[in-house]
Structure 1
């Protein structure tokens, strides 16, 4: 018995050690910690943290991390984890010959039973504590950092490549991409939100870089400009290979994230970039493009990008484009399309689709945003709506906040479900950002704010951050592989000819 009432034997921090226990500890070969006293009479190490530093450490972190923290502090010796009935075997020949109840073998058994009871009593709340929500923003950010080490945060749309064309004419050989925020003309531009430093702060795991071409280039040099934009994306990644890696598959996204680099993907924005050619579509895919935004802010000969009285959605050739993307394993992006085009594409596609940078139409009636009936179709299709941060599409005016963005996220979750939302900020292609989401460094703050809502679990955060997009991409790849096994051949269809001053008659 350990207590202070006998007045004899060794003393430990004010406690008197029973002589039988003392004798047992001295002779017992097992690795038990014996109520914190060890088996080497090293009584000078207390069994629990008592210093001011330990007390401060234990209470200044989120409750869900108490378990790990205490687990470290409650180990005065390496063998502390062995204190259990299964490993505490203290019998010996001398033990078996003693008939007294207070023999070393019995004492060991009793002590180990007490330890097991205390472990169960103390361990249960420690095991349950991770379920308790973090109480402060600092705690929530700590959780977000941990989660984003497991699963990549994937943004569906960033227009930096177009700024490279506008600001430096794609001449990036001497561009220091780590500190753009301090360089001209980036530092003065309200269109600039991205560089390596801020991407790292934002814990971004994967980015779809947009190979954008303006609608005014349609039927002119749209194909050439798109090729040049794909080229500048690939060079930007190559020149900064310590931070980026160009990827073309889910497997490569996950491996690159595990390696600590940002997985870089290419998305072509605007079906007018195809020049009405499936061959050009295949060429873009072979160069690394993994989604095509079917339209931008203009109609094409085969798809409507604006809602109008004549909007018929996709033409016959437009549906051939969708099926060829299914065959290739290219994600279909419906941001910027008309409602009828979106519905037609969803009904035509065998694979899930995405809206790479859109919002909820019922909260802001912008043509970029998705109506509730289409959100329901997205849920049936298995696709994802990736919420954008452009004030005009968040609140339909020039000012917005993080809470306004969260309203869009929660609305899409309510209508379509948690499995069908993602993030597609649209940085570098917007000139008005919500307060609290000014640039690419702010993603963790958005996720931490969501985590403050009891209806959002850590699993939900991971779904929003990247798991939903990964699921869509995996399904797109699965359809591609099945069609390949079925020996479905490339399409040879063509759109009705469109002649301009920049086209020849040799077709």
Structure 2
């Protein structure tokens, strides 16, 4: 009887150890894969590019030690420094549906709640999308505090300009900024925008993979445009100097935002229909209108965005946007660590430089695309 009782108690304990100790890392490793493994040869001038930056990364979703070099995933502090990455925007994923796809999703399921439970995150994160999003904001600030000065969080122009000055003499430092992927984490309360602004969030994608109370998603059920509350939200965002991200927005939402909002917009990670025609990507008319709004378009490093699995595919879409609205309005929007396969991890960005050279961009233009445009965009649009 005692032996049977011991077995009865041991089996659940072992199962729990396996589940909580190994399953989250297995999910991370299986989802955040690369087409090409390091090492990557660098061009002679790669390490002298003054500001390499990327508009979108979901690394905060994963229970991974950001301060050490990992053998899986796409981004961590040592690999950012190795890849001469000056700044990465870390976007917060707070809810994703089961069976996620680019065509049709509802909001009835919450895979991030399950992941938060498996990662043994704060129990409040299991039930509140706002809380789990705010905890991801806190996590980035904590990383900066524990990085021995190697990592900073940028929240305003003063931060960014000081960092730019400091990095001219020390390339062994890097920085991050916070964004949000889906305004559903405001939990239908405009007042919650202030909490995220104080936490350092500087752009918000109105939707992610499903329609919400603010706007329609490109991947939602109805795919409608801005709601009346959504119009209030974009006005409040403009007043708070929080930029609008149009990634994942429905066609109608994009049109509504560009009609109601006069300021600059971000498309943090996308592709273009002129190169890769699917429900995820921007039309020529949208590209041109975003250019008129002095916006910036981040081109992705994954197959659905660019219809390819190598740097050449991304460079082709970058050339397409540059030819439409100028080389000053296009950038990298990798979607690193976004539960997708990318061409390579952050140390593979020299592959993009080589591919841009084959697209006949000059070195000065390549430096803009690789991060100079992001630097200048935020210098213009961050709060003082």
- TM-score over 0.5 (shorter chain): yes
Q: Distance in 1 between matches of 2:314 and 2:223?
A: 30
Q: Is the counterpart of residue 389 in structure 1 residue 301 in structure 2?
A: yes
Kept after mapping to 1: 8 A contact 2:211/2:222: no
Q: Describe the shift of the 1:178–1:303 C-alpha distance in structure 2 as closer, same or farther (beyond 3 A).
A: same
Number of positions where the alignment pairs a residue of Structure 1 with one of Structure 2: 314
Q: Determine the structure 1 residue equivalent to 2:102.
A: none
Q: In the TM superposition, what whole-angstrom CA distance separates every residue of 1:45-99 from its partner, at most 9, and x where no partner exists?
A: xxxxxxxxxxxxxxxxxxxxxxxxxxxxxxxxxxxxxxxxxxxxxxxxxxxxxxx
Kept after mapping to 1: 8 A contact 2:209/2:220: no
Q: Distance in 2 between matches of 1:360 and 1:282?
A: 33
Q: Describe the shift of the 1:284–1:269 C-alpha distance in structure 2 as closer, same or farther (beyond 3 A).
A: same
- CA apart distance, 1:400: 1.5
Q: Distance in 1 between matches of 2:342 and 2:224?
A: 34
Match of 1:256 among 163, 168, 171: 163
Q: Is the counterpart of residue 161 in structure 1 residue 60 in structure 2?
A: yes
Q: Is the counterpart of residue 208 in structure 1 residue 89 in structure 2?
A: yes
Q: In the TM superposition, what whole-angstrom CA distance separates every residue of 1:211-263 from its partner, at most 9, and x where no partner exists?
A: 21114459x61111111111112212221143201111233224224323212
Q: Is the counterpart of residue 463 in structure 1 residue 368 in structure 2?
A: yes
Q: Distance in 1 between matches of 2:314 and 2:266?
A: 18
Q: Distance in 1 between matches of 2:56 and 2:199?
A: 18
* TM-score between the two structures when normalised by the length of structure 1: 0.58
Q: Distance in 1 between matches of 2:205 and 2:348?
A: 26
* TM-score between the two structures when normalised by the length of structure 2: 0.76
Match of 2:378 among 465, 473, 476: 473
Kept after mapping to 2: 8 A contact 1:153/1:465: yes
**Mapping of residues 252-331 of structure 1, within 5 Å:** 252-259=159-166, 260=170, 261-306=173-218, 310-331=222-243
Kept after mapping to 2: 8 A contact 1:270/1:296: yes
Bigger Cα displacement from structure 2, 443-452 vs 336-345: 443-452
- Which protein, 1 or 2, shows the higher relative CO under an 8 Å CA cutoff with sep ≥ 6? 2
3-state SS in 1 of match to 2:55: strand
Q: Is the counterpart of residue 193 in structure 1 residue 74 in structure 2?
A: yes
Match of 2:338 among 429, 432, 447: 429
Q: Determine the structure 1 residue equivalent to 2:350.
A: 444
Q: Describe the shift of the 1:443–1:257 C-alpha distance in structure 2 as closer, same or farther (beyond 3 A).
A: farther
Q: Determine the structure 1 residue equivalent to 2:46.
A: 144
Q: Distance in 2 between matches of 1:449 and 1:258?
A: 29
Q: In the TM superposition, what whole-angstrom CA distance separates every residue of 1:294-351 from its partner, at most 9, and x where no partner exists?
A: 1000101220013679544111211111111111111111101111111211222232
Kept after mapping to 2: 8 A contact 1:295/1:303: yes
Kept after mapping to 1: 8 A contact 2:266/2:297: yes
Supply the RMSD in Å over aligned alpha carbons.
2.4
3-state SS in 2 of match to 1:456: coil
Kept after mapping to 1: 8 A contact 2:182/2:204: yes
Kept after mapping to 2: 8 A contact 1:141/1:445: no
- CA apart distance, 1:153: 1.3
Kept after mapping to 2: 8 A contact 1:202/1:440: yes
Q: Distance in 1 between matches of 2:373 and 2:334?
A: 16
3-state SS in 2 of match to 1:303: coil
Q: Distance in 1 between matches of 2:206 and 2:221?
A: 20
Q: Distance in 1 between matches of 2:80 and 2:372?
A: 19
- CA apart distance, 1:283: 0.9
Q: Distance in 2 between matches of 1:278 and 1:221?
A: 16
- CA apart distance, 1:461: 1.6
Q: Distance in 1 between matches of 2:299 and 2:377?
A: 16
Unpaired segments ≥5 residues, structure 2: 1-39, 97-108, 114-126
3-state SS in 2 of match to 1:231: helix
3-state SS in 1 of match to 2:163: helix
Unpaired segments ≥5 residues, structure 1: 1-136, 168-174, 182-186, 482-507
Question: Which has the larger Rg?
Answer: 1
- CA apart distance, 1:472: 2.9
Q: Is the counterpart of residue 406 in structure 1 residue 315 in structure 2?
A: yes
3-state SS in 1 of match to 2:184: helix
Q: Distance in 2 between matches of 1:402 and 1:206?
A: 20
Q: Distance in 2 between matches of 1:347 and 1:205?
A: 34
Q: Describe the shift of the 1:424–1:213 C-alpha distance in structure 2 as closer, same or farther (beyond 3 A).
A: same
Q: Determine the structure 1 residue equivalent to 2:144.
A: 237
Q: Distance in 1 between matches of 2:269 and 2:249?
A: 12
Q: Determine the structure 1 residue equivalent to 2:268.
A: 356
Q: Distance in 1 between matches of 2:332 and 2:259?
A: 24
Q: In the TM superposition, what whole-angstrom CA distance separates every residue of 1:337-377 from its partner, at most 9, and x where no partner exists?
A: 11111121122223210110111122223333211110010
